[in-house]
């Protein structure tokens, strides 16, 4: 497969998944702000921190109030990680890969984009409610469903899967990190009704609430963390995502587990192995935040190495950048 | 749809020979359209446009900010041409392309036509589209122009004329194919009875044409469509054709010349590619051979082409054959190489570099259409009768400054055809671009792209200037 095409499929998937996760963050926070006391800044600032665009936000908005954060994360075109920017970039990558993806995938993504573009024009009067964010989540899940239902399980599909799973692992880890350290900073909440509400919110934002209840019943920080980090079966759990991404990356070169042919397979394989031999007690002993922080760095690094190994168009004879400017 | 008040006007109308009297080939269609309930056609028109937008069949508009993607406006009332009439056009186009190909081969080799003084040598040497780098090139099987889109128009007398030849990278064929799809979905019953000649095998013919460039020994040649990228106005078409042919869609950056072979950068390393349907102009295709500042092309690809290691369609250098001054000589070209009379006539053309012609042009600017010899897409053009005094003055100055660069033609009364407008149906001017493939033999797509000037009275059909398209039915 053309490197540029693989790159486009990978990012198409990543951006769709990212849009979905931003919608999840916002939806849960909107919901939770109804239940939990405290200044609104306390609840909204972590969302911006989690997206990694704290500085960009501070340059453009006076404070981390609800309206500003919602706007920044939903329609702000200046924010490369707003829902609208993500869907626009997913579509742009889909256009690049247009002759490779199926008609059904393209039409669904294109329609979703056109709808958002319409809404974007009325963004100042729009009431961004639960329904809106549910629609964004559903659109992403529909896209994933169509991808799985219409695309052959060849290299292209595996690139879509690698992109989606890596993005999801990253977002689940950020969500967990932010909720645990920013919203639950003080011991004072621990053991109060809010504790339960907040952890339940973390679970809900990853659609994990029901699956968690079936397995663990009582909500405790350790169990929630074990479920969202180490579960192998829950589709939004970090370990599940890393295993799936690793499987797909290996499928591309038919490399068996435990071996590697290139730096990308080595990096991701090592990350998978580390998770496989980790227990939640160790995580808590060394600190959840420290663990998640390190994981994010490692995961990010895996993304960079994959990109270097498979997508980078290194000049071979003279400088020859891709892209058009006519 | 009610045609009882439809005005034919003082033009050749494609569907009606007189008010209320459809042409024989269009009779069935008109009857069926008339039988549709009031408002039904307009409703289906909107549905068709929605379908095009949803499918993302759009083109990019240069220079516009924000909403730079638009659908190419599409009108549901097809244009009908009778089979008997089409047979003549098909023959005429084959004749023309065959002769132009001989001309190209001659110009880049022996130049017999110049030595015999059929065309003044300076016409060729002064043309911006003449490529020195192509002198002595031997394209596979001697074919230069694999894909041509020839623009035809009808004047008031109903005769088809060739308006211009496009031998570089003619676009629009994807709209023909998509329009046909939309039409079949919209009017399945009408299609059933009208017996329209199909166009949907175009992609197969195109693939055959490109594969014909590869050495026969190659069992399964790898073929690609070379695009400038997603910001190019015709990107949809590039991707559409690649998909239809099962070819790779590549950008310049995907290709690299290694040890004289053209390779694609893939996730498994470099892989060879054998032939390219390239949709990048000569100028940009190889910075080593042509424009050194081009970022779109592939350095070294011309050298590989010269050695026969990659097929290119069209061959570089074909632009000389659609230079608008050379155009004026095409009837002579046909007579010279084939000893035949041209089957489809040219529009009479004044060449501004001839003193007599230029004097006439400058004196009659208000009656003529002036075109720059090297532009396409409706840019660099003056429609005299519709232009302001100031615009005419500006063109007069340009012509005087570089006469070689301008030609002029009488303003034709382009034929019209019924087109949906806000309150019913009115006549709008149209042209026709059939697509011609030159591979093992010459194939002419039955019909082609009918472009329509949607603005009332306008004669400019280009999509960049408010034009739309229609399905073309050969019945």
For chain A, the average pLDDT equals 87
Lowest mean pLDDT: which of A40-49, A256-265, B171-180, B195-204? A40-49
A95 to B239: CB separation less than 8 angstroms, yes or no: yes
A324 to B227: CB separation less than 8 angstroms, yes or no: yes
pLDDT at A198: 78
Instruction: Give the Cα separation of A277 and A292 in Å (integer).
Output: 16
| Whole-structure pTM value | 0.86
Instruction: Give the Cα separation of B6 and A120 in Å (integer).
Output: 42
Q: How many CB pairs under 8 A join A and B?
A: 95
* Tens-digit pLDDT profile for residues B44-96: 888 888 888 888 777 766 654 445 677 788 999 999 999 999 999 999 999 99
Cα separations (Å) of B304 from B19, B214, B252, B258, B292? 60, 13, 15, 10, 17
- Residue among A96, A107, A155 whose CB faces B230 most closely: A96
Of the residues B67, B233, B265, B273, the best mutation for testing chain A's interface (the one with the most A CB atoms within 10 Å of its CB) is: B265
The answer to whether the beta carbons of residues B108 and B135 sit under 8 Å apart is yes
A322 to B232: CB separation less than 8 angstroms, yes or no: no
Alpha carbon dihedral B30, B435, B214, B258, in 10-degree steps, equals -120
Instruction: Report chain A residues touching chain B, CB-CB < 8 A.
Output: 1-6, 92, 95-96, 98-99, 103, 106-107, 110-111, 114, 155, 252-253, 310-311, 313, 316-318, 320-326
pLDDT at A185: 47
pLDDT at B377: 55
pLDDT at B189: 87
**Residue whose token pair is 């250098």:** B317
Instruction: Give the Cα separation of B232 and B58 in Å (integer).
Output: 11
DSSP annotation string for A152-190: -SSHHHHHHHHHHHHHHHHHHHHHHHHIIIIIS-SGGGT
pLDDT at A173: 93
A326 to B228: CB separation less than 8 angstroms, yes or no: yes
* Tens-digit pLDDT profile for residues B371-427: 888 765 566 788 888 889 999 999 999 999 988 889 999 988 999 999 998 878 899
* Tens-digit pLDDT profile for residues A150-176: 999 999 999 999 999 999 999 999 888
Q: Give the three-state DSSP class for A236.
A: coil
Could you say which DSSP state residue A2 is in?
B
Buried b (16+ CB within 10 A) or exposed e, B367-381: ebbbbbbbebebebb
Classify the phi-psi angles of A318: left when phi > 0, otherwise alpha if psi is within -120 to 50, otherwise beta. left
Closest chain B residue to the Cα of A321, Cα to Cα: B253
Helix axes A103-121, A83-96, angle to 10 degrees: 150
Closest chain B residue to the Cα of A308, Cα to Cα: B267
Backbone φ, ψ for residue A166 (5° rounding): -65, -40
**Which pair of tokens denotes residue A81?**
């990680």
Instruction: Give the Cα separation of A297 and A305 in Å (integer).
Output: 12
- Higher confidence at residue A145 or residue B214? A145
* Tens-digit pLDDT profile for residues A63-121: 988 889 999 999 999 999 999 999 999 999 999 998 889 999 999 999 999 999 888 88
- pLDDT confidence band for B128 (50 / 70 / 90): confident
| Distance between start and end Cα atoms, chain B | 21
- Residue among B265, B296, B298 whose CB faces A3 most closely: B265
* Tens-digit pLDDT profile for residues A181-232: 554 445 455 556 667 777 888 888 888 989 999 998 888 888 999 999 999 9
Backbone φ, ψ for residue B189 (5° rounding): -70, -40
- pLDDT confidence band for A180 (50 / 70 / 90): low
* Tens-digit pLDDT profile for residues B331-360: 999 999 999 999 999 999 999 988 999 999
pLDDT at A323: 32
Contacts with A324 from chain B: Cβ below 8 Å: 227-232, 251, 296
Min Cα distance A275 → chain B (Å) is: 27
User: Which of these, A221, A8, A200, A231, lies nearest to A101 by C-alpha position?
Assistant: A8
Q: Is the pLDDT of residue B123 over 70?
A: yes
Could you say which DSSP state residue A272 is in?
H
Instruction: Give the Cα separation of B58 and B179 in Å (integer).
Output: 13
B338 Cβ neighbours under 8 A, 6+ residues apart: B95, B98, B99, B102
Instruction: Give the Cα separation of A89 and A95 in Å (integer).
Output: 10
B254 to A3: CB separation less than 8 angstroms, yes or no: yes
Instruction: Give the Cα separation of B413 and B429 in Å (integer).
Output: 8
The answer to whether the beta carbons of residues B475 and B121 sit under 8 Å apart is no
* Tens-digit pLDDT profile for residues B281-326: 888 899 888 888 877 889 999 999 999 999 999 999 999 998 889 9
Could you say which DSSP state residue A220 is in?
-
Alpha carbon dihedral A125, A129, A132, A135, in 10-degree steps, equals -170
B252 to A322: CB separation less than 8 angstroms, yes or no: yes
* Tens-digit pLDDT profile for residues B250-291: 999 999 999 999 999 999 889 999 999 999 988 889 988 888
pLDDT at A188: 52
The answer to whether the beta carbons of residues B374 and B433 sit under 8 Å apart is no
Of the residues A99, A121, A157, A252, the best mutation for testing chain B's interface (the one with the most B CB atoms within 10 Å of its CB) is: A99
pLDDT at B118: 94
Mean pLDDT computed over B166-184: 91
Q: How many residues does chain B have?
A: 475
The answer to whether the beta carbons of residues B475 and B82 sit under 8 Å apart is yes
Contacts with A325 from chain B: Cβ below 8 Å: 231, 295-296
B442 Cβ neighbours under 8 A, 6+ residues apart: B94, B97, B98, B436
Mean pLDDT computed over B34-45: 87
B239 to A324: CB separation less than 8 angstroms, yes or no: no
């Amino acid at each position: 497969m053309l490197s540029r095409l693989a790159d486009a499929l990978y990012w198409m998937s990543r951006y769709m998944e990212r849009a979905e996760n931003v919608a999840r963050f916002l939806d849960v926070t909107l919901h939770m702000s109804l239940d939990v006391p405290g200044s609104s800044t306390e609840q909204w600032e972590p969302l911006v921190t989690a997206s990694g665009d704290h500085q960009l936000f501070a340059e453009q908005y006076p404070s981390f109030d609800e309206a500003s954060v919602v706007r920044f994360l939903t329609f702000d075109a200046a924010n490369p990680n707003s829902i609208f920017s993500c869907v626009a970039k997913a579509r742009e990558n889909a256009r690049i890969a247009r002759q490779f993806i199926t008609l059904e995938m393209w039409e669904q993504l294109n329609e979703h984009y056109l709808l958002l573009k319409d809404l974007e024009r009325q963004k100042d009067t729009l009431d961004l409610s639960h329904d809106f964010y549910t629609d964004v989540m559903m659109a992403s899940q529909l896209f994933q469903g169509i991808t799985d239902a219409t695309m052959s399980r060849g290299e292209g599909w595996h690139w879509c899967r690698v992109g989606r799973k890596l993005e999801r692992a990253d977002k689940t880890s950020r969500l967990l990190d932010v909720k645990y350290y920013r919203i639950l900073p003080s011991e004072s909440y621990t053991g109060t009704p809010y504790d339960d509400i907040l952890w339940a919110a973390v679970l809900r934002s990853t659609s994990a609430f029901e699956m968690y209840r079936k397995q663990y019943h009582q909500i405790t920080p350790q169990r929630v963390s074990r479920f969202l980090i180490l579960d192998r079966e829950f589709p939004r759990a970090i370990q599940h995502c890393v295993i799936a991404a690793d499987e797909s990356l290996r499928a591309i070169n038919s490399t068996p587990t435990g071996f590697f042919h290139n730096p990308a397979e080595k990096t991701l394989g090592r990350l998978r192995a580390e998770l496989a031999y980790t227990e939640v007690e160790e995580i808590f002993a060394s600190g959840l935040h420290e663990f998640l922080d390190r994981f994010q760095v490692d995961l990010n690094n895996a993304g960079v190495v994959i990109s270097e190994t498979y997508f980078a168009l290194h000049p071979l004879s003279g400088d020859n950048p891709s892209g058009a400017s006519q | 749809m009610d045609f009882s008040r439809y005005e034919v006007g003082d033009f050749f109308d494609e569907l009606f020979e007189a008010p209320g009297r459809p042409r024989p080939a269009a009779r069935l269609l008109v009857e069926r359209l008339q039988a549709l309930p009031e408002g039904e056609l307009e409703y289906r028109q909107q549905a068709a446009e929605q379908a095009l937008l949803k499918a993302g069949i759009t083109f990019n508009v240069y220079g516009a900010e924000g909403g730079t993607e638009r659908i190419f406006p599409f009108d549901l009332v097809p244009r009908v041409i009778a089979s008997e009439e089409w047979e003549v056009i098909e023959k005429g186009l084959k004749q023309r392309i065959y002769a132009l190909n001989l001309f190209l081969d001659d110009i880049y080799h022996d130049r017999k036509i110049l030595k015999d003084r059929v065309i003044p040598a300076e016409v060729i040497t002064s043309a911006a589209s003449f490529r020195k780098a192509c002198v002595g090139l031997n394209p596979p099987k001697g074919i230069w122009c694999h894909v041509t889109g020839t623009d035809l128009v009808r004047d008031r007398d109903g005769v088809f004329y060739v308006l211009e030849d496009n031998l570089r990278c003619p676009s629009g064929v994807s709209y023909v194919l998509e329009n046909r799809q939309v039409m079949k979905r919209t009017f399945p019953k009408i299609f059933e009875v009208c017996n329209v000649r199909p166009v949907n095998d175009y992609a197969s013919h195109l693939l055959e044409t490109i594969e014909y460039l590869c050495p026969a020994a190659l069992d399964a040649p790898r073929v690609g469509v070379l695009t400038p990228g997603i910001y190019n106005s015709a990107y949809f078409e590039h991707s559409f054709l690649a998909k239809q042919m099962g070819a790779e869609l590549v950008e310049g950056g995907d290709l690299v010349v290694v040890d004289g072979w053209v390779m694609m950068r893939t996730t498994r390393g470099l892989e060879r590619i054998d032939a390219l349907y390239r949709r990048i102009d000569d100028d940009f295709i190889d910075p080593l051979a042509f424009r050194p500042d081009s970022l779109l092309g592939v350095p070294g690809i011309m050298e590989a082409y010269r050695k026969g290691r990659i097929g290119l369609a069209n061959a570089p250098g074909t632009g000389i054959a659609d230079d608008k001054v050379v155009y004026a000589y095409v009837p002579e070209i046909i007579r010279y190489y084939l000893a035949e009379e041209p089957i489809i006539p040219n529009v009479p053309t004044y060449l501004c570099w001839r003193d007599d012609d230029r004097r006439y042009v400058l004196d009659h600017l208000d009656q003529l259409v002036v075109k720059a010899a090297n532009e396409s897409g409706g840019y660099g053009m003056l429609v005299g009768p519709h232009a302001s005094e100031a615009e005419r003055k500006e063109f007069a100055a340009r012509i005087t400054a570089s006469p070689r660069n301008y030609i002029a033609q009488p303003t034709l009364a382009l034929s019209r055809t019924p087109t949906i407008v806000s309150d019913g149906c009115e006549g709008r001017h149209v042209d026709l671009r059939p697509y011609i493939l030159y591979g093992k033999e010459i194939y002419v797509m039955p019909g082609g792209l009918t472009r329509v000037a949607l603005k009332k009275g306008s004669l400019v059909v280009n999509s960049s200037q408010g034009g739309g398209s229609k399905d073309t039915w050969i019945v």
